Chain A
Amino acid sequence: MTTRPSLAAVVSCLVAAAILAVLPFLISGYHQGLLTQVAVFFIAILGLDVLTGYSGQISIGHGAFMAVGGYTTAVMSYYHHTNLIVTMLMAFGICLAFGFVVGLPALRLSGVYLALATFALAVSMPQIPLKFSRFLGGSNGLQAQTVSHLWLYGVAWAAAAILFVGAWLILRGRTGRAFRAIRDSEVAATSSGVELPIYKTLAFGISAAYAGVAGSLFVLATNGYASPNEFTVALSLQILIGAAVAGLGSLWGVLVGAVFVGLLPEVSSSVPVVGSTHGQDVVFGLFVIVVILLLPTGFAGLLARLRVRLTRQSMASINSDPGTS
């Protein structure tokens, strides 16, 4: 990644932004809701990519951070009628702190052990609203203020855009390099002066803060309803799948990953398969397998390979050697 974004990157970002800005006025409220879902996943996957893709720490527990963010919004809105945008900022801040705290024990874990620890977090987090049911609404959940589809669409994608630029700014320079250095070689990173505890917990904090905002929007997207059933382990896995489809360690594939996990369940439910209620899951699973097989390095990896091929072709045409293909 260079200091300045390439022209192609800027143009594709602007085109994507323009399409997303016009689109809500052409589609129904229901479809606006679906695309809001995509924005939620976009933000969550962005966060996971900072942690897993850049700093190399695997998390299967991002649903837990989303739950903290989501309940922050629900609690503040339900009890204090706080402005929803303000609750999102609070979700960001609280999850940033929570991420740091979770990052501390994670310093001692790596690889599959860290994955399991975060998995445990994802499993245990939905139990907390059940335990403190008087305050958090138990299994019935907690109702935040409801908003229109269009409002939420606008806020979600605006947040997505801001957080995307934020991630790009953080990752392009010294901090992003420190994250990737840790991922590639902890010994060499340390010897180059990269403080592992600081950067590893920082990655956790940023990542959790992103997931927190996503969780906040997620609650608003489900009619403002925060309930333990929404923040299951499956949600964490969806984010991980989205990040894998996007391609870890690159920001450019995140939109594709978000569209994949945001829309595929919807699309696959309308496919007439087995007919059972689980047909949707089967189709989703099959799609995931096919995509992972075809794109082992995700969409970003595909982009990188295409770029290499294009540069080779242009090099070849410059050299114009008729004997080689």
Chain B
Amino acid sequence: MSELEQQLQTLRVEAETALAGCADLAALTQLKAKYIGTHGAVTAVLKALGRLPKEDKPRVGKLANEVKNTLATAFAARQEELESHISHLQSQMDTTLPGRRHRLGRLHPLTQIFEETVRIFRRMGFAVEDGPEIEDEWHCFDALNTPSDHPARDIQDTLYVDLPPHAKYGRYLLRTHTSPVQIRTMLRHQPPVRIIAPGRVFRRDNPDATHSPTFHQIEGLYVDRNVSVADLKGTVEFFFKQLLSPDTQVRFRPHFFPYTEPSFEIDLSTPHFRARGKEWIEIAGCGMVDPHVFKAVGYPDDAYTGWAFGFGIERLAMVQYGITDIRLFTENDVRFLEQF
């Protein structure tokens, strides 16, 4: 027996012994590399065959291949054994342990109502519009048929910003409603105008459970040649049924706003509200755009009619979810935010 044959036999015994004691896959991979890998010992013997005398080559070569194959089979068998052992262990895993999650964050509940509102109005061909939070008196009041001597200005107690007044548009203020977006849009575009304007508004209110000096509104405006109260009712009903539930009942009540004539308040009744013991909930204001407003934006006299509506998001969220303190919306307790 040549030296190489001797070496092969030793390697085989050595490898088989090591294999028997190998208990994990990582060690197995190392062993495999050590004996039959590219740089392995058995592989090295096979590479050395070329240096043997011609008559020894077939015999030793046969043996070397035999050893390599035997070991390869043994390694494969051992690998399977180990793997099935692991999968057996895994099958005994405590599946009641909590899952490993990548928790999603939540949108603020007011954002969710904004986004849902925009989605619904886009289905009806409305575009989204925006305007500044610092407005001037003309855009916020005068153009909306609320001149400075009008008692309606008392209803909205206004916060004025410490800036020099605009030469033409008057003092700067925090907008008390999203309605100036109507004015800005109509100044830029001729009808048809169909817009929805979500935004933040401000009032000089002391914060308490039901008042916040900062809150949010959505404004809608539709102007065209012959827009009517019937169109207004159709749109408002469609919207609230989509947003709240198909069972929502909508009631219009005559009211007054300087910028619409006739004006209405919108009351809603849903099974959800009724379950909370409230028959009708006053939720929004609306009406047909006052001719003075069309005049302010320079639309020709009598050419167009239109409607506008607006509602407060906080109030809607509060009645919908049964939230009794408006301050929760700006406190940002994650236990609150995670519920929506």
Same assembly: no
Question: Which A residues are within 8 Å of any B CB, using their own CB?
Answer: none
